[in-house]
Structure 1
Amino acid sequence: MSTVLRSIRAAYCTQAVVDWLALEIETARPTQFQWLQRTLADHFGDGKRTYIDSIDADASGATTRFLVRLNDDHCRTVDTVRAALAALDQRHTLVGPALVKLLEVSLDFYPKDDQARAYLPLLVARLQTSLEAAGGTSHRLVGPTKRAEHLDSTDTPDPRRTLYINNKLDPLAWRVYYKITDRDQTLPRDQHRARVEFTLQGVGLHQYGINTVDDLAALDFGDFGHLLHFRQFKPLPDLIANMKPELAQLVQHATRRDRNMISLYPFGLHAYRRYNTGKHAGKPRNGGHPELRKHSTHTTADAELNQLVRNRLHDLTQFFTQNWNEK
């Protein structure tokens, strides 16, 4: 397994996209969401529905404030978004700037051949177990037929199910999964892929200076690189180098029995506590205070995955802000 997964660059095409963008808009006169929906349907002309929620609507369903959810086809670039807002403004007269309420960014791994396609579940497993997701909580597996199952530090994620980290309304949340459907429709086989994504909303957006659509035009997606940071265990010789002989022997024995053990380990589930060396050094019983580390000293950055993340986020910045010509 490890031989295949170490050659991600050779086996998979990778792409980062803005998958969802939610905007709050205000119209000059009260109206119903269906009229805005029809305007965008005419504008995009692709038969794909735009989801629009009314905010504080009256008994007739009319209001001046709406939440417009644009999918990846309708928010490919900042100019695509601006054109959609211009279409709404022409028919309904918008008041003030459109406010960004949610931004979802996805990184996709498309197999280049049948062999890579066969190993997609193993790639999903690698992504699920090695995503650092610093500060993440509420790790759980959802679907396809089983109810949500919360993970503890002894569980291994299941690549056939979606791994969720944090909750739907949190400022930051992650998902890792094997994508074979889109909007409840089965995708063609050549569109099956491994996907890892993060969603920002509320203060999660504000800390990156994202408030309006104009802020998106100046956005450097590379600033999100740490949100898609991956780790892996150190090579076995380095891993056991400073261990007591008995423990090193146990680790060697375990890896001989199960060669997947080192790669199938949920790093993001653990808060590693070590005792500091400052003024309050020592264990709690001696008056010391433990410090919380993001990751175990037995791990190291996954250089291949992290470089792919940096490259694709750089490409997304160039494409989304139209610093190269849209293909």
Structure 2
Amino acid sequence: MKSRKYVAAEADRKSFKVSAGIDWLDLKISFSRLTQHRYVQDELLKITGLKLWVKPCGLRISKLSSCAPRPDNNVKTWVKPTISSTNDTFRICFRDLLANHGGKLEAALKQLQNRFPFACEPQIVGVEVFCDFWHKQRSVSATRAMTYRLQTSLFSNGTRPRQFNPASWKNVYLFPGTRITPYRNFRTGNKWDNISWQVYHKRTDNDQKLPVEEQRARVEVTLKGAALTHYSLHHLSDMQRFRFETLAHLFKFRKPIEPEMMANGDMFRFTAINAARKVNDATAERGLHSFNNIGRRDKRSWMMVNGDKRLRKESSHLAVVSDLQNAVKGALRRLHV
């Protein structure tokens, strides 16, 4: 890894363009009659030219068959269910242009509805919003440096912070002593959580290596379940009038405050700050989750809540990274579908 000063110079925000978009949109569509998922997939292939991900929702039992015991067997009669190969509700995942262009998606769904009449308006099951940082000179090393900066600056309340190692196909959890590397995907939260985050250097798309001019540093936030309800994203029509700028608070970027600045000349406090960070291995190189156990108690706002003293939402050791925060907010403001 290059020196921190050199990495910071390469990851200068002014050297990057920032754009936002939707990586994928997962819809649940109910039809007025039963069909098989392969027929839905084939119809979408005719309409869009793409083989989209289609999955039936739940299992349907087509019939119940009674299994009588044999004369020499004391087992009681039991009923064997037969799983149906048809369904009337499916999840369909739309990506790229279809997810980012409301008109094209509506046209595709209208053609699908002509073939399979809808029972109700499509419902949103999940959506992944991203912000991309494109280096203006298409430098791979600068893009990697920005990836590292984003990974070490992302502040989220996601659980199990980790990095996915593509070489071993395993997760490397960021316990004390481990360090972030931009060559791996940084993730917080789980796929079953309402909100999860991911930061990585996007070098491939659909398992194909991207040319240098299309590579970028990417931050992704995935919304599901209660998170969609919180932002009133229930139906497809809600996406068209949604202000994506309201999601800016999910893209939080922070940096550790220098101990000298926090201590403000108090050597005792300076020593205490360094000791607390050393004991907890609190450093941006491990991820900002390492600051969760320090600087959370605010003496001015201490109060008992269920027997525990109230904690600050963010560590007092962290400060806002304004250039990244403003860049993402502007990109989300410009996003319309």
Asked whether the equivalents of residues 302 and 310 of structure 2 are also in contact (C-alpha less than 8 Å), the reply is no
Q: Greater CA deviation, 96-105 or 264-273?
A: 264-273
Q: Greater CA deviation, 198-207 or 183-192?
A: 183-192
- Quote how far apart the aligned CAs of 1:38 are: 2.0
1:7 to 4, 9, 12: 12
What is the root-mean-square deviation of aligned Cα atoms in Å? 2.6
- Quote how far apart the aligned CAs of 1:152 are: 2.3
- Quote how far apart the aligned CAs of 1:77 are: 2.2
Asked whether the equivalents of residues 163 and 175 of structure 1 are also in contact (C-alpha less than 8 Å), the reply is yes
Instruction: Give the 3 Å change call, closer, same or farther, for CA 295–265 of structure 1 in structure 2.
Output: farther
Residues 205-236 of structure 1: CA deviation (Å, up to 9, x unaligned): 10111110111112110110010010113367
Structure 2, unaligned runs of 5 or more: 1-5, 61-82
- In structure 2, the residue matched to 1:155 is 178
* 2:109 partner amino acid: L
Instruction: Give the 3 Å change call, closer, same or farther, for CA 153–308 of structure 1 in structure 2.
Output: farther
1:189 to 201, 212, 217: 212
The secondary structure found in structure 2 opposite 1:293 is coil
- In structure 2, the residue matched to 1:119 is 142
Residue 315 of structure 2 is aligned to residue 292 of structure 1: no
Structure 1, unaligned runs of 5 or more: 255-260, 282-287, 321-327
TM-score by length of 2: 0.81
- Quote how far apart the aligned CAs of 1:189 are: 2.0
Asked whether the equivalents of residues 303 and 310 of structure 2 are also in contact (C-alpha less than 8 Å), the reply is no
Instruction: Give the 3 Å change call, closer, same or farther, for CA 249–132 of structure 1 in structure 2.
Output: closer
Asked whether the equivalents of residues 267 and 295 of structure 1 are also in contact (C-alpha less than 8 Å), the reply is no
The secondary structure found in structure 1 opposite 2:297 is strand
Residue-pair matches, total:
299
Instruction: Give the 3 Å change call, closer, same or farther, for CA 289–275 of structure 1 in structure 2.
Output: farther
- In structure 1, the residue matched to 2:223 is 200
Asked whether the equivalents of residues 54 and 61 of structure 1 are also in contact (C-alpha less than 8 Å), the reply is no
Q: How does 1:177-326 map to 2 (within 5 A)?
A: 177-234=200-257, 238-244=261-267, 247=270, 264=285, 266-271=287-292, 272=294, 273-277=296-300, 280=303, 289-316=308-335, 319-320=336-337
In structure 2, how many angstroms separate the alpha carbons of the residues matched to 1:5 and 1:294? 31
- Quote how far apart the aligned CAs of 1:5 are: 4.7
1:34 to 35, 38, 41: 38
Q: Greater CA deviation, 265-274 or 162-171?
A: 265-274
Residues 25-44 of structure 1: CA deviation (Å, up to 9, x unaligned): 01111111122222222222
Asked whether the equivalents of residues 26 and 66 of structure 1 are also in contact (C-alpha less than 8 Å), the reply is yes
Residue 47 of structure 2 is aligned to residue 43 of structure 1: yes
Instruction: Give the 3 Å change call, closer, same or farther, for CA 314–145 of structure 1 in structure 2.
Output: same
- Quote how far apart the aligned CAs of 1:150 are: 1.3
* 2:225 partner amino acid: G
The secondary structure found in structure 2 opposite 1:199 is strand
In structure 1, how many angstroms separate the alpha carbons of the residues matched to 2:85 and 2:333? 42
In structure 1, how many angstroms separate the alpha carbons of the residues matched to 2:257 and 2:10? 16
2:121 to 67, 78, 97: 97
Asked whether the equivalents of residues 152 and 284 of structure 2 are also in contact (C-alpha less than 8 Å), the reply is yes
In structure 2, how many angstroms separate the alpha carbons of the residues matched to 1:131 and 1:297? 16
Sequence identity of aligned pairs in percent?
26
Instruction: Give the 3 Å change call, closer, same or farther, for CA 8–26 of structure 1 in structure 2.
Output: same
- In structure 2, the residue matched to 1:83 is 107
In structure 1, how many angstroms separate the alpha carbons of the residues matched to 2:161 and 2:12? 28
- In structure 2, the residue matched to 1:63 is 87
Asked whether the equivalents of residues 24 and 99 of structure 1 are also in contact (C-alpha less than 8 Å), the reply is yes
